[in-house]
């Protein structure tokens, strides 16, 4: 089963610069395991130590947020497209420094 996975710029160092890669799996969890076998270290950037999606990572299957489809148990089908998007947070510039903010995936 071929699934296209769209990779954000911040994670492309794990995929040799590729914007999109193919992986297989019946669920998001299986897909991430397959991705990690092909691109070691990628899964660790997406999954917490507790085995859940990191809260600063958004994953979509055909434009649907996996958190509403069963998270890591979300089912996948042949030809689906999975998009990984890091959440971006920032703050206001105060006195020349950025106040607040979060650095996900770093």
Per residue in 43-102, pLDDT (tens digit) is: 999 999 898 998 889 999 999 999 999 999 999 999 999 999 988 766 666 655 555 544
**What average pLDDT does range 16-45 have in this prediction?**
95
pLDDT over 80 (residue 16) = yes
pTM: 0.79
- Residue 44: per-residue pLDDT: 92
pLDDT over 80 (residue 38) = yes
Domain boundaries, the chain: 3-98
Q: How far apart are CA 78 and CA 9, in angstroms?
A: 25
- The superfamily in CATH containing domain 3-98 is Beta-grasp domain (3.10.20.30)
């Amino acid at each position: 089963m071929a699934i296209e996975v769209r990779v954000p710029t911040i994670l492309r160092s794990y995929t040799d610069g590729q914007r999109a890669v193919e992986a297989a799996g019946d669920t998001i969890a299986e897909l991430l395991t397959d991705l990690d076998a092909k691109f070691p270290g990628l899964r660790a950037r997406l999954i917490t130590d507790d085995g859940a999606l990191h809260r600063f990572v958004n994953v979509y299957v055909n434009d649907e947020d996996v958190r509403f489809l069963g998270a890591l148990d979300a089912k996948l089908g042949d030809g689906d497209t999975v998009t990984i998007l890091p959440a971006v947070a920032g703050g206001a510039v105060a006195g020349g420094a950025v106040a607040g903010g979060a650095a996900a995936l770093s």
